[in-house]
Structure 1
Amino acid sequence: MLLVHAHPDDETITTGGTIARYLEEGAEVTIVTCTLGEQGEVIGDEWAQLVAEESDQLGGYRIMELSAALAALGGPGHRFLGGAGRWRDSGMAGTPAAEHPRAFVRADESETVGELAAVIAELRPHVVITYGPDGGYGHPDHIRAHTVTMAAVERARESWDTAKVYWTVSEDEAVAAGLADLGPVPGTWSVPQAGALPAVPASSVTAEVDISGYLEAKRAALSAHATQVQVADGGRAYALSNDIAQPVVAREFFILARGGAGRSGRAGRETDLLAGVDAGS
């Protein structure tokens, strides 16, 4: 299983429980991170001088956070696309960061696709996971990660034909239920209306992974990304630097974008991303 993410912490927020579960079940899992997350908005004052506008040291610090988070999830393999620091966090669209010469969104697509295709050809994953076309919430690096991943899967077919590709998504019904049962959150946090958080209609979800047995690992990994993520007491909510509460739910959701579905469970959805895969091929 190969998961392609834009920045450190994305792997935990969207797929942390899935990573932990499949590692424990014996799958070979590798994460590819496309940037160091240099443009992240730091929480609190302790690391405030690390940000891009000050010492520009945040990316290096986030390598340490990512290492701790991956260890908490069970120790998957990890690579930075093109090597650590090859491409830079682009920030949000329209910001000066997007014009940086090493910004991921400015990278030569043939080069980024080639780098990822080489990883796919080497590791020969049966399942590849990344974001959908909108990147989940519109971040340019997430959108680019989607584009690069889908193209790399196709380019790598000469030597390895990936059986299944999934897009990681949030389900609107699960988000709404989670927000209704957040438990205690800090007084500085705001609790949004369910429709205010990025999510797809439940009807579009084709697979869900039960991570109820791996929530502690996911919470520990979230906490490891301390410059970016706060976890509320009780562990049912987390927030980024915007102090907007988001639920930690017991399932992670996916849309099958390529390949054939395996066995189905609740609501006709796949419940095992590796189902139907011939591990010997």
Structure 2
Amino acid sequence: MGRTLAGVWAHPDDECYAMYGTVVRHATDPGFRPVVVHATDGDAGEIAPGVPATPETLGAWRRAEDVAAWRALGTEPDPHVWLGHPDGRLGDVGDGLVDEVAEVLRAERPDVVVTFGPDGVTGHPDHVAIGATTERAFHRVRDEGSGGLHRLLFGCIPRRAWAIAQRYRAHAGLGPWDPSRVYELRSVPDDDVGIVVRHRDGLDRMLAAHKEHRSQRHVMFDPSGTDEQWKNVISLETWAVAWPPRDPGTAVLTDVFEGLA
């Protein structure tokens, strides 16, 4: 069996913390192939100070940043699909979005599909919408048969890691995250985390790829943080296993493909 990993996301840069490490880890595997779907170009996002994008050009700017980031990582998606929906309005697209994501999954037959869970990590409505959409599309295509779609994963932040970060923020004077507010990080119970991947190699490439997203630098990581602190954050990927059902007490896996035949 090959190792095709499909990430389905709302905006350019959504995949940074979720996929880069696994892509670097498996880049030399001849059976590995990353597939990426972006529902929007991120045209309604903020613009970091010093970046000469405008609200009118931001979508094209962020799309170019994302392409440059994958090149910096050293492994580009095959294919990289842009659906072109308006940023901030994915919840209004309806069943048509499910059809579009299902079409990609049907054509590419990924072994593992990754996206956002119900909390959207930040509560962003587009994150929540694309996660729910992908879950529906995953099960639709899987029920049709023809192979692939062995595992569906939701990116998440374990409660313990979130609490450690909260203490750091308090010490640094940044103020705690408020999970009742949109755009602030949420966590899931530690027992819900089924895969924990720790990356030690390729962190320089991963950081270089992150930094290509210049227009979003101010929201991706604490601007006052050091490169070493940033590397520490991106060295860990954590996932909730949405499918197949995971029994309580099941051992935590250490790779998104672990256990697949």
Normalised-by-shorter TM-score class? 0.7 to 0.9
Aligned positions of 1:111-260 closer than 5 A: 111-157=96-142, 158=144, 159-160=146-147, 162-177=149-164, 190-193=173-176, 197-230=185-218, 232-237=225-230, 248-259=233-244
Give the Å deviation of 1:133.
Answer: 1.2
CA distance in 2 between partners of 1:226 and 1:235 (Å): 18
Partner of 1:89: 87
Deviations 1:130-181 (A, max 9, x none): 1111211211111111111011112213144511101011123234445667
> What is the match of residue 23 of structure 1?
27
RCO higher in 1 or 2 (8 Å CA, sep ≥ 6)? Answer: 2
- Tell whether the 8 Å contact from 1:72 to 1:220 is kept in structure 2 after alignment: yes
| Aligned partner of residue 145 in structure 1, secondary structure | helix
- Structure 1: 5+ residue stretches without partners: 91-102, 239-246
Instruction: Give the distance between the partners of 2:82 and 2:227, measured in 1 at CA.
Output: 35
Q: 1:94 maps to which residue?
A: none
**Equivalent residue for 1:42, pick from 47, 55, 59:** 47
Give me the identity figure in percent: 28
Please tell me whether the aligned partners of residues 2 and 31 of structure 1 are also in contact (alpha carbons under 8 angstroms): yes
Superposition deviation, residue 13 in structure 1: 2.8
Cα distance change of structure 1 residues 141 and 195 upon mapping to structure 2, 3 Å threshold = closer
Count of residues in Structure 1 that have an aligned counterpart in Structure 2: 239
The gaps in structure 2 that reach 5 residues or longer are 180-184
Distance of aligned partners of 1:249 and 1:66 in 2 relative to their CA distance in 1, 3 Å threshold: closer
Q: Post-superposition shift, 1:260?
A: 6.3
Give the TM-score taking structure 1 as reference length. 0.76
Q: Name the CA distance, whole Å, in 1 between partners of 2:209 and 2:175.
A: 24
1:58 aligns with 2:58: yes
The Cα shift of 1:209 comes to 1.0
Could you list the per-position Cα deviations for residues 198-253 of structure 1 after superposition, in whole angstroms to 9, with x for gaps in the alignment? Answer: 22222221111112223222211110000001563333149xxxxxxxx7242110
Contact in 1 for aligned 2:118/2:132 (Cα 8 Å): yes
Q: CA RMSD in A?
A: 2.7
Select which of 90, 99, 102 maps to 1:104. 90
Relative to 1, partners in 2 of residues 1:133 and 1:123: Cα closer, same or farther, differing over 3 Å?
A: same
Q: What CA distance in whole angstroms lies between the structure 2 residues aligned with 1:172 and 1:229?
A: 25
- Are the aligned partners of 2:117 and 2:155 in contact in 1 as well (CA < 8 Å)? yes
Provide TM-score, normalisation by structure 2: 0.81
